[in-house]
Amino acid sequence: MVLRLGSTQTLAWASSYYLPALLAAPLAAELGIAVTQVFGAFTLALVISALVGPAAGRAIDRHGGRAVLLVTNLLFATGLAALGLAQAGWQVWAAWCLIGVAMGSGLYDAAFATLVRLYPVSARNAITGITLIAGFASTVGWPLTQWGLDTLGWRGTCLGWAALHLVLGLPLHSALPRGRVEATPAVQSVAVPGTAPAAPAPSHATAGRGVAMVLAAVFAIAWFTSTAMAAHLPLLLQAQGLSTSAALGVAMLVGPAQVAGRLLEFGLLRRAHPLLSSRFATAGHPIGVLLLALGGPVGAWLFAVMHGMGNGILTIAKGTLPLVVFGAAGYGERQGWLMAPARVSQAFAPVLFGLAMAHWGGHALWLTAGLGLLALALLQGLALHMARRAVAPPATTPRPGAPA
């Protein structure tokens, strides 16, 4: 299951999120439109994915991930084919709108919801395994896209990615089980390996909207920072005094550091509560910024490691932490709502952080460091709240006439 979904997630990310970086320039040149239009269409696709997420998650909760992910392959294939056949700017925007629907129903959140429905108690390790495989989506996707551009042109590249969704994605998703593999216990609990049995996971109503808002804010901050760094890190490091080649070398270290962080979560941190690993990961970026400020060129390498490892662990935490806090019931729809602000912040992060760099230069990193500290404070407050609730005596039925 991990190999199957990890492979389809690699395909989905490589043919959508990582596509514009190489495709935008040749596409814009042939159609006679600005490159910013292509990235604007991609931003719209991310916003659409945020709107689609809750409905896609609700469909997975009700019908399972197999049907939803099969439809997603068809959406990806249609959108990519439309992009490859586009003759005008408006057709590029329309194609990315369709790809945005596919992204909202076919990336990590959909895969995580599929796993939770199949394995409502033991999905954590499978979620980690999927992120380990799909963490190489850029490593696989960018060389394949560049090879396609060199040999087939940008149109052939889009059509090639569309074909892969039909000949690879569809068969892999069609082999998914139709129903639950693991029975849901009468009282849902999520055990943490290596610890005492976990207490029953609270329902959404018990955990409260406040907790959901905290998690949504933390994920929005994390995805704003990761996307801003992905878009601007080489130039940002040059603003810190690094040469062009050194900045590129440091930026290339982020990807392997993300995989290292996921391996750390799969190994050592798998025995810890996801809330602990989330706090550890959230602290990574602010600590990295501090090391960069103090250490100069050496600090830049340490910054890349800390930022990358934290980002890699948070990718897992966005799937496992809501599972532990809220339980498996309604996971897909809830995940869609929790991640909607993150997808919107992700869509506008390159533009907003670019404006910050225009005003503050390399000091713009202190903005993301401050946001990281805010996210860490929110998680610490959530940890204290959950600890108090765990030791609180059970509620008693109030006397007639007494205030509830």
Return the pLDDT at 68: 92
Closest CA relative to residue 285, chosen from 253, 314, 307, 261: 307
Phi and psi for 200 in degrees, rounded to 5? Answer: -55, 135
CA–CA distance, 62 with 54 (Å, rounded to integer): 12
Closest CA relative to residue 390, chosen from 196, 199, 190, 121: 199
**What number of CA atoms fall less than 13 Å from residue 50's CA on the CB side?**
20
Phi and psi for 91 in degrees, rounded to 5? Answer: -70, -30
CA–CA distance, 175 with 173 (Å, rounded to integer): 5
CATH code of 2-174, in short, is 1.20.1250.20
**What number of CA atoms fall less than 13 Å from residue 276's CA on the CB side?**
9
Return the pLDDT at 71: 94
Q: Is the dihedral of CA 278, 283, 285, 288 positive or negative?
A: negative
Q: What is the 3-state secondary structure (H, E, C) of the chain?
A: CHHHHHHHHHHHHHCCCCCHHHHHHHHHHHHCCCHHHHHHHHHHHHHHHHHHHHHHHHHHHHHCHHHHHHHHHHHHHHHHHHHHCCCCHHHHHHHHHHHHHHHHHHCHHHHHHHHHHHCCCCHHHHHHHHHHHHCCHHHHHHHHHHHHHHHCHHHHHHHHHHHHHHHHHHHHHHCCCCCCCCCCCCCCECCCCCCCCCCECCCHHHHCHHHHHHHHHHHHHHHHHHHHHHHHHHHHHHHCCCCHHHHHHHHHCHHHHHHHHHHHHHHCHHHCCHHHHHHHHHCHHHHHHHHHHHHHHHHHHHHHHHHHHHHHHHHHHHHHHHHHHHCCCCHHHHHHHHHHHHHHHHHHHHHHHHHHHHHHHHHHHHHHHHHHHHHHHHHHHHHHHHHHHHHCCCCCCCCCCCCC
204-391: which CATH topology? Growth Hormone; Chain: A; (1.20.1250)
Contact 173, 66 (CB under 8 A): yes
Query: Both tokens of residue 298?
Result: 């050496």
Give the pTM. Answer: 0.78
φ/ψ region of 361 (left if φ > 0, alpha if ψ in -120 to 50, else beta) reads left
Closest CA relative to residue 228, chosen from 349, 374, 368, 360: 349
Q: Which residues are bridge partners to 200 per DSSP? A: 189
Exposure string (b/e) for 235-250, b if CB count within 10 Å is 16 or more?
bbbebbebeeebbebb
CA distance to 43, 207, 244, 404, per residue, from 398 (Å): 52, 21, 68, 6
Which residue spans of the chain are classified as CATH 1.20.1250.20? 2-174, 204-391
pLDDT by residue for the chain (404 residues), tens digit each? 889 999 999 999 999 988 887 888 899 999 999 888 888 898 899 899 989 988 998 899 888 889 999 999 999 999 999 999 999 999 999 999 999 999 999 998 899 889 888 887 777 778 888 888 887 787 788 889 889 999 999 999 999 999 999 999 999 999 988 766 555 554 344 443 333 333 344 444 445 778 889 999 999 999 899 888 877 777 778 877 778 778 777 877 787 888 888 888 777 776 777 788 889 889 999 999 999 888 877 888 899 899 989 988 888 888 888 888 887 788 888 888 888 888 888 888 888 888 888 888 888 889 999 999 999 999 998 888 877 776 655 544 444 444 43
CA–CA distance, 86 with 92 (Å, rounded to integer): 6
